[in-house]
Amino acid sequence: MSRVANGYVDYRVSVAFVGTVLKFLAVAPLFPLVLAFYYGESPVPFIATSAVMVALGFGLEQLRGDGDLGNREAFLLVSLSWLVVPLVGTVPYLVAGTGTVGALTVAGFVNALFESMSGFTTTGATVLGTISVDTHGHAMLMWRQLSQWLGGMGILVLMVAILPELSVGGAQVMNQEAPGLSIEKLTPRIQETARALWGIYAAFTVAAAAVYFVIGAVGIAPEMDLYNAVAHALTTMPTGGFSPQGRSIEAFAPAIQWAVMPFMVVAGTNFALFWYVLDGQPGRLTKNTEFRAYLLAIAGFGVVLSALLLAGLGIATAPENVATIPGNLENSLRQGLFQVIAIVTTTGYASMDFNTWHPAAQTVLLFAFFLGGSAGSAAGSIKVVRWVVVSKSMSRSLFTSIHPEAVEPVRMGREAVDESTIRDVFVFVMIFLTLFAVSTVLLYLDSLRTGLELTPLEAMSVAIATLGNIGPGFGIVGPMNNFLPFSPAAKLYMVFLMWIGRLEILSVLVILTPSFWRR
Amino acid sequence: MRVVIVGAGEVGSTIAESLAGSHDVVVVDVDTERVESLTYSLDVLPVEGDGTDVDTLAEADVGDADMLIASTDDDETNIVTCGAAKVLGDAFTIARTKSPKYLKAWERAQGAFGVDFMVCTDLLTAEAIVGLAGLPTAQDVDTFADGLVQMTEFEIPAESPVAGQTVAEADRFDSLTFVGIIRGDEVIVPQGTTELRGGDDVVAIGSPESMRLFSSSIAPEEQGPEDVVIVGGGEIGFQTARLLEERGFTPRLVEQDEDRARWLAEHLPNTTVLNSDATDQDLLERENVGLADVVVAALENDQQNLLGTLLAKRMGADRAIAVVDTGNFTELFEAVGIDVAVSPRKVTAEEITRFTRARRAENVAIIEGDQAEVLEFEVDADSILVDRPIRESAVDFPESVVIGAITRDGEFVTPRGDTVVREGDHVVVFTETDVLETVTEQL
């Protein structure tokens, strides 16, 4: 490896691949571009984005030497891509001056970057003051939706699916990008696996759009037109949470709210399991330990919150725009379940403003922030599989304290989990929680500095909502509010949290260690 | 019959010994000393060489042999030997394997690897252990007719309520037949009036369910075992634990080697694997092995098994089952207080023996001390049994032969005097060794 630039990491290979990624992504803005023409809105932001992507892409590609995409280069490629793509993704916002982005100021750029990073990482936190197609235009809001859809299954998984040259490093790349313990290779060729995952993802998106549209078209939910159906399908499946509606899913009839729930659940499920179902092995989905724990967690939290709402204990102030909840079983169940699913799957939609909830109910919901969906899904946060491993190894510790000689592997289903994997899980959970705690403190301190009024619960929710790629929190960052009031410094820090959270922390931390660059 | 035996280890030489009397036996082994000692100890033709080598097999004249038994300690060698033998002629090939993984493949396509019959020693031993573990006072258990019929040899304890009863009194179970009583060296064919005594071994044939019922009538104070401890996590220990798990037990398994213990724990989800020395008394006490219903010792060698089971017995374990490799030790073990000694070589020999008979029995069980055998036959048109009630045909075969069970189209049929046997039926017969030849011809 002596021929490479710095000796041990051939960063040029990674950077050149980032160029390739950008080049291919230049197709993406064409979709909002078509909408811009259809709705008679300005096409400039999207033409500009495409142009920047192509130009930068070809530029970076010139760096390509004859180096191979090794393990370290794969790490670097993933982290860099998830930095560069959201950076380029700011172009439409900057060009159009969307929302409060305003002119080319530092604060404006930070806002654009926040929105773009929140999009690609499927966080769903926003700095747009008021969200409406009237102010921002159909095309611009669709770009926001599209950025989540691209980020959901993973930009690089998409690249592995498309580019034959990623057949060698592809597995490492996907391993770094896909959430969970490790990727499951479904087919002998990694490219086929990537295609299968993206295929399933796309198919579910089409299904979601069709279901939303049909419910709207038959008149049950007249607000749901084709534009909204597509826009929401694009952010349901990646567990994103952006909505062209200022009041999220509250803007739609209960039928839509019910219809969104199963799709969110699907989006938070390991996509590999659907592949097995298509392969004629439905048992691998229904008997999967994580899937069962995931459903159980949703049901558990859902029942508790629905009960609180039904009894009226969960409501502090009567919410606007929502029918009376206490005493109404359907409404309580719907609101309780919807919020739980939206948070557990880290989608971040809301069917009502849970700022109106009693702090007790909010605290219950805060716990759900830490669950996350399944490994291998589009969800963020810690992931159910890690909690399962943690709880099983805890009960193992209890067992082995009575039987010191007992050899008890931690099992997922019938499969024993590697001891080194268990260690990695504990390390991850510890780092995640530490980062959450530190971030809470930092954001809290910054709010003091800028005179932003924040309660501890709200500060915590800001940290976990961004680190866990969830989106909304409580109080000023509630589901119907936004992150605009934060200082540019705090927003930049949150951009960092979203970035590191999407890549499950370690992938990013690795490239920040000196030993990554040395032997 | 001309038989070539490859591998003159413990198993091979035992088989050679039992066959040498009535067949032409050639023994192949790589070890010069073993070959030399065989020359003098057995009336067989020894050939020195590698059994997987076609030249060696040709030298042993496998091409003209009727049967080849590959019984080295190495699974792969045995399988390749059978494959090589098939190249030279069409001897019936029997491969002995330890690991059941080859058996799995072979069962899918019998005749795979050029092996006509595969004997999986460790699996058979484990099956025997599991059968014994489930039946208090059982000394030997064998299954016939795809598990529909079970042969069990029970020891009647002196304090048992059954001791002193006549056969007619004791046999209250429909699908169970007493076929033989072994009293000392004598084999008694039970009549209704025969009295059962403490210390007798009763051989019963019937449905597995009736065996359990009879077992609890012999020892009513013994509940069905729940707590089983296995010491030794070799292939036998592993298979025993696996089979127990299949039957709903949650056994404990003690294994000394750390990596092996981990492997076992991963493959046995319902077993508690303990990584320790099986003779560590502190461990045995801490784990309350004394409270166990059954302790199975399946360690590396006989001495360890003896020590392990004796320790467990001393601490209060109800029943101890030990694996004994050296055939002669079986009685010794039982004499010092081990309840049952299971010999892997005996179970292997039972399997192989049935192919060396003039007419092939479907299954064979050898009763302790080789005094009697239980055989399973498929009734063909020439049998003296066919289309006659048993009462009539019984006159024509020796007195010391008892028909214990019949299966017809996968159903269990209790043989009574007026039962008419049909062609295609499977009969499970108890017979004294003396009249074996006559019986196999007649039935």
Tens of pLDDT, residue by residue over B179-208, are 888 887 788 888 878 888 888 888 888 888
Out of B265, B274, B286, closest to residue A409 by CB: B265
> Which of A404, A408, A414 is facing B265, going by the closest CB pair?
A408
User: What pLDDT was estimated at residue B423?
Assistant: 85
pLDDT in tens, A319-357: 877 888 888 889 999 999 999 999 999 998 999 988 899
Residue B8, domain extent: 2-115
Judgement on whether residues B335 and B359 belong to the same structural domain of the protein:
no
Using alpha carbons, select from B319, B284, B379, B402 the residue that is nearest to residue B133: B319
**A225, pLDDT greater than 80:** yes
CATH number for B180: 3.30.70.1450
Q: What is the mean pLDDT of residues A246-263?
A: 91
- Chain B residues whose beta carbon lies within 8 Å of the beta carbon of residue A414: 269
Per-residue confidence band for A2, with pLDDT thresholds at 50, 70 and 90:
very low
Distance of alpha carbon A62 from alpha carbon A69, whole angstroms = 16
Is pLDDT at A416 greater than 90 in this prediction? no
Instruction: Compare B301 and B441 and report the one with higher pLDDT.
Output: B301
> Does the pLDDT at position A4 exceed 50?
no
Element (H, E) at A406: strand A406-407
Closest CA to B231 of B288, B284, B290: B284
B330 and B356 part of one domain:
no
Question: Smallest CA–CA separation between A421 and chain B, in Å?
Answer: 15
pLDDT on residue A277: 92
Q: Find the helix packing angle between A71-88 and A11-25, rounded to 10°.
A: 40
Are the beta carbons of B264 and A405 separated by less than 8 Å?
A: no
Minimal CA–CA distance to B404: which of B377, B424, B434?
A: B377
Per CB-CB distance under 8 Å, the chain A contacts of B271 are none
Is the Cβ of A396 closer than 8 Å to some Cβ of chain B? no
Whether the CB of A409 is below 8 Å from some CB of chain B: the reply is yes
Q: What is the mean pLDDT of residues A222-227?
A: 90
Beta bridge partners, B255, equal: B275
Q: What values do phi and psi take at A289, rounded to 5?
A: -60, -45
Strand boundaries in B369-439, DSSP class E: 372-378, 401-408, 411-413, 426-432
Residue at token pair 């009727």: B66
Contacts of B152 (CB under 8 A, 6+ apart): B131, B135, B138, B140, B141, B142, B203, B204, B205, B211, B214, B215
B35 and B94 co-located in one domain: yes
Q: How many pairs of residues across A and B have Cβ atoms under 8 Å apart?
A: 33
pLDDT at A66 over 80: no
**Model confidence pLDDT, tens digit, residues A380-413:** 889 999 999 999 999 999 999 988 888 889 988 8
Are B273 and B351 part of one and the same domain? no
Helices of type H across A351-455: 359-369, 384-402, 419-450
Last residue of a domain, one of B293, B319, B342: B342
* CB atoms A408 and B287 under 8 Å: no
Nearest chain A residue to B269 by CA distance is A414
What is the Cβ-side half-sphere exposure of residue A335, based on CA atoms within 13 angstroms?
31
How far apart are alpha carbons A212 and A81 in whole angstroms? 33
Residue B77 resides in a domain: yes
Rounded CA separation B249/B229 (Å): 11
Residue A35 confidence (pLDDT) above 60:
yes
Among B273, B284, B285, which would you mutate to test the A interface (most chain A Cβ atoms within 10 Å of its Cβ)?
B273
Q: Is residue B239 part of a domain?
A: yes
What digits encode the pLDDT tens for the residues B221-252? Answer: 766 778 899 999 888 999 999 999 988 889 99
Is there a single domain that holds both residue B289 and residue B332? yes
How many CA atoms are closer than 13 Å to the CA of B83, on its beta-carbon side? 11
Spell out the residues 6+ positions from residue A187 whose beta carbon is closer than 8 angstroms to its own: A193, A196
| Structure ipTM | 0.78
pLDDT tens per residue, range A466-481: 999 998 999 889 888 8
Whether B256 maps to a domain, the answer reads yes
Q: Give, in order, the Cα–Cα distances in Å from A381 to each of A13, A123, A369, B226.
A: 30, 10, 7, 44
Query: Would you say residue B358 has pLDDT above 70?
Result: no
What's the DSSP call for residue B223?
P
Residues 474-493 of A with CB under 8 A from B: none
- Same domain for B338 and B398: no
In angstroms, what separates the C-alpha of A402 from chain B's closest C-alpha?
9
Is B178 within the bounds of a domain? yes
Contacts of residue A408 in chain B, CB cutoff 8 Å?
265, 272-273
Residues A374/A386/A368/A86 CA torsion (nearest 10 deg): -60
Q: How far is B283 from chain A (nearest CA, A)?
A: 8
Among B135-144, B292-301, B401-410, which stretch is predicted with the lowest mean pLDDT?
Answer: B135-144
The yes-or-no verdict on residue A6 having pLDDT over 60 is no
When pLDDT is averaged across residues A47-58 and rounded to a whole number, the result is: 94
Which band of pLDDT confidence, cut at 50, 70 and 90, is reported for residue A5? Answer: very low
Q: Three-class SS of residue A502?
A: helix
Torsion (CA) B153, B158, B161, B164 in degrees, nearest 10: 90
Q: Is the pLDDT of residue B370 over 80?
A: no
Q: How far is CA A53 from the centre of its chain?
A: 23
pLDDT at A1 over 60: no
Domain end point (choices B115, B133, B167): B115
A402 at the B interface (CB within 8 A)? no
B287 → closest Cβ in A403, A414, A416: A403
Determine contact, residues B28/B5, Cβ cutoff 8 Å: yes
CATH code of the domain covering residue B284: 3.40.50.720
B95 touches B81 (CB < 8 A) = yes
As a whole number, the mean pLDDT across chain A is: 88
pLDDT digits (tens, 9 = 90+) for A10-20: 888 889 989 99
Q: Is B241:B253 a contact under the CB 8 Å cutoff?
A: yes
B105 within a domain of the structure (yes/no): yes
Q: Best residue in A392, A400, A407 to probe B by mutation, most B CBs within 10 Å?
A: A407
Task: Give me the pLDDT at residue A7, please.
Answer: 59
Both B255 and B356 in one domain: the answer is no
pLDDT tier, A231 (very low <50, low <70, confident <90, very high otherwise): very high
Compare CB distances from B283 to A405, A409, A416 and report the shortest one's residue.
Answer: A405
Say how many domains are in chain B: 4
Q: What is the pLDDT of residue A100?
A: 53
In a domain, B44, yes or no: yes
Mean pLDDT of chain B: 85
| pLDDT of A463 above 90 | yes
Distances (CA, A) of B197 to B152, B174, B177, B311: 17, 22, 17, 30
C-beta atoms of A408 and B273 within 8 A: yes
Q: Which has the minimum average pLDDT: A305-314, A498-507, B172-181?
A: B172-181
Same domain, B179 and B203: yes
A140-161: pLDDT as tens digits: 999 999 999 999 888 888 888 8
Question: CA-nearest residue of chain A to B259?
Answer: A407
Element spanning B273, H or E: strand B272-275
pLDDT at B359 over 70: no
**Quick one: pLDDT at residue A54?**
95
Please answer yes or no on whether B266 and A409 come within 8 Å at the CB atom.
yes
Comparing CB atoms, the residue among A404, A406, A411 nearest residue B273 is: A406
Taking residues A409-427, what's their average pLDDT?
A: 88
> Is the residue at B135 inside a domain?
no
* CB-based contact B274 A408, cutoff 8 Å: no
Contact B262 A405 (CB under 8 A): no
Whether A192 and chain B come into contact, CB under 8 Å, resolves to: no
Give the pLDDT score at A435.
95
Of A404, A405, A411, the CB nearest to B269: A411
Give the DSSP H or E segment for B183.
strand B176-183
Q: Which two tokens stand for residue A401?
A: 């304290």
Does residue A102 have a pLDDT over 70? no
Distances (CA, A) of A184 to A272, A273, B201: 7, 10, 58
Q: At what angle do helices B10-20 and B344-356 cross, to 10 degrees?
A: 40
- Residue of B254, B266, B285 to mutate when probing chain A, most A C-beta within 10 A: B266
pLDDT, residue A388, reads: 93
Average pLDDT over residues A174-199: 82
Asked whether the predicted pLDDT for residue B312 surpasses 80, the reply is yes
Buried b (16+ CB within 10 A) or exposed e, A315-353: beeebeebeebeeeeebbbbbbbbbbbbbbbbbbbbbbb
Does the beta-carbon distance from A405 to B276 stay under 8 Å?
A: yes
A414: nearest CB among B269, B272, B287:
B269
Among the partner-chain residues A403, A411, A416, the one whose CB lies closest to the CB of B272 is A403
Whether the pLDDT of residue A3 is over 50: the answer is no
φ/ψ of B256, rounded to 5, equals -80, -40
- At B270-291, the pLDDT tens digits run 999 999 887 788 888 888 888 8
pLDDT band at A103 (very low <50, low <70, confident <90, very high): low
Q: DSSP 3-state helix, strand, coil percentages of chain B (rounded to 5)?
A: 40, 25, 35
All residues at 6 or more sequence positions from A471 whose CB lies less than 8 Å from its CB, including other chains: A118, A123, A124, A125, A126, A240, A241, A346, A347, A348, A465, A479
Q: Please tell me the predicted confidence (pLDDT) of residue A57.
A: 93
Question: DSSP per residue over A289-304, as a string?
Answer: HHHHHHHHHHHHHHHH
Which of B291, B320, B342 delimits the end of a domain? B342
Average pLDDT over residues B148-174: 83
- For B274, the closest chain A residue by CA position comes to A406
In this structure, are B430 and B357 located in the same domain?
A: yes
Q: Are residues B187 and B272 in the same domain?
A: no
State the smallest CA–CA distance between residue B104 and chain A in angstroms. Answer: 20
Contact (Cβ atoms closer than 8 angstroms) between residue B313 and residue B337 = yes
Residue ranges of alpha helices (H) inside B177-257 are 208-218, 235-246
Please indicate, yes or no, if residue B134 is contained in any of the structural domains.
no
Report the predicted TM-score, pTM, of the whole model to 2 decimal places.
0.82
Report CB contact under 8 Å: B262, A408: no
Same-domain pairing of B332 and B405: no
